[in-house]
Amino acid sequence: MPETPAPHRDREATPAAAPPIALLRIFAVFLQLGCTSFGGGMAGWLYREMVLKRRWIDDESFLAMLAVAQVTPGSNGVKMTALIGQRLRGAAGATAALAGLLGGPFAIVLAIAAVYAGIGRNPIVYRMLDGVAAAVVGLTLATGLHSLRHGARSPAAIAIAAATAVSVGLLGWPILPVVAVLAPLSIALAFVKIGRH
């Protein structure tokens, strides 16, 4: 008597990988960011666009990129842009993101410089710039609080973050010596924590 074939079992379909984001789209998003994020606080703008709004990057990846950007020299916004672009589409993505982020503001700054030469001493201009600066401070503070809430919650990590904030923010110490002391300490604590798990 011939054997009955075993019932066919459908393998669970694995979800298809999301198609890569087009370079033109990366350029357009970063061009918009570059033209609308005034006065610094780029980490907050990037978090809102890349993690909350578009979901191109998750919280954990964003915080890792932010940590790398903060311990390397240069503008955090530019470094984060390069890291995010590279994560999305490699070297071409990093190039498209940087071109978008820096191209629009470059043209805007040239135009504003021409106009500002004539109206720079107007008190209304000073009030407008003060308002923009206050918004940037609030956005940066919100990003910091969010990072604290979703980042490492160990007492050692909180102590390092507090020591950094007090040293640079309250005492006004130069950031390079503070990072030179606290970064190796933080890395050593991370290795100790990994060794325990």
- The pTM of the full predicted model, rounded to 2 decimals, is 0.54
On the question of pLDDT at 125 being above 80, the answer is: no
> What are the start-end ranges of the H helices in the chain?
23-36, 42-46, 59-70, 76-119, 123-150, 155-164, 175-196
As given in the structure block, the two tokens for residue 5 are 């074939």
CA 194/CA 197 separation, integer angstroms: 5
CA 151/CA 143 separation, integer angstroms: 11
139: enclosing H helix or E strand: helix 123-150
- Average pLDDT of every residue of the chain: 81
CA 76/CA 82 separation, integer angstroms: 10
Amino acid in position 104: G
Long-range pairs of 188-192 with CB within 8 A, sequence gap ≥ 24: 189/154, 189/156, 189/157, 189/160
The percentage of the chain sitting over the pLDDT mark of 90, rounded to a whole number, equals 23
Grouping H, G, I as helix, E, B as strand and the rest as coil, residue 66 is helix
For residue range 58-75, what is the model confidence (pLDDT) as tens digits?
Answer: 989 998 898 888 888 888
Question: CA nearest 66: which of 184, 195, 161, 166?
Answer: 161
List all residues 6 or more positions away from 139 whose beta carbon is below 8 Å from its beta carbon: 41, 44, 45
Q: What is the pLDDT of residue 10?
A: 44
For residues 146 and 63, is the Cβ–Cβ distance under 8 A? no
Give counts: helices (H), strands (E), the chain: 7, 0
